[in-house]
Amino acid sequence: MSQINVRVDGASYTDDVEPRTLLVHYLREQLGKVGTVVGCDTSNCGACTVHLDGEAVKSCTVFAVQADGCEVTTIEGIGADGALHPMQKAFHEMHGLQCGFCTPGMIMASIDLVNDNPDPTEDEVREGIEGNLCRCTGYQNIVRAVQQAAGEMHGRSAGATETLGAQS
């Protein structure tokens, strides 16, 4: 066992973990943060994406011991005081999900993308979330949601993006 000190979604934890424990399993099973999910065994799907010291990573491909001394943000820690984060709100409004399994990872990857690129084009959004697979939506509404949220996160009006009503 190794002892780790981590901050997760703003709270500090000191825990013993086996070195082989994956960060995602630590989050789900030791901290009960089941908002972050596991979708594959091959580091391909991105469902497990969290932010480690502010950068999106696949938490199934990092050992929990490696997060010692770090700040982790999961899907459960992005909304403020019960209000949705602009990215969550945009996924909701633009129908950026169907079954919802890919959504936590999609949202965490998309926030990371928009932090780096405040006004991504459609192609840049598609490139930016290439590490996240969705079996349901066909990505179209996910891309719209990310672009709408980018506008809101950087203080632009939503008018630049097409709304769902207008396209259907």
Ligand X SMILES: Cc1cc2nc3c(=O)[nH]c(=O)nc-3n(C[C@H](O)[C@H](O)[C@H](O)COP(=O)(O)OP(=O)(O)OC[C@H]3O[C@@H](n4cnc5c(N)ncnc54)[C@H](O)[C@@H]3O)c2cc1C
Residue range at the interface with ligand FES (CB under 6 A); choices 75-83, 115-123, 128-136, 145-153: 128-136
Q: How far is the CB of 69 from ligand FES (least distance, A)?
A: 22
- Binding partner selected for residue 112 from ligand X, other proteins, ligand FES, none, CB under the kind-specific 5 to 8 Å limit: other proteins
CB of 43 or CB of 163, closer to other proteins: 43
Q: How far is the CB of 155 from other proteins (least distance, A)?
A: 24
Residue 66 found at the interface with ligand FES (CB under 6 A): no
DSSP code string of the chain: -EEEEEEETTEEEEEEE-TT-BHHHIIIIIS--TTS----SSS-S-TTEEEETTEEEEGGGSBGGGGTT-EEE-GGGSSBTTBPPHHHHHHHHTT--SS-SSHHHHHHHHHHHHHH-SS--HHHHHHHTTT---SSS-SHHHHHHHHHHHHHHTT--GGGSPPHHHH-
CB of 19 or CB of 118, closer to ligand X: 19
Residue 60 found at the interface with ligand FES (CB under 6 A): yes
Q: How far is the CB of 58 from ligand X (least distance, A)?
A: 7
Q: Which residues bind ligand FES (CB under 6 A)?
A: 38-40, 43-48, 58, 60, 97-102, 134-137
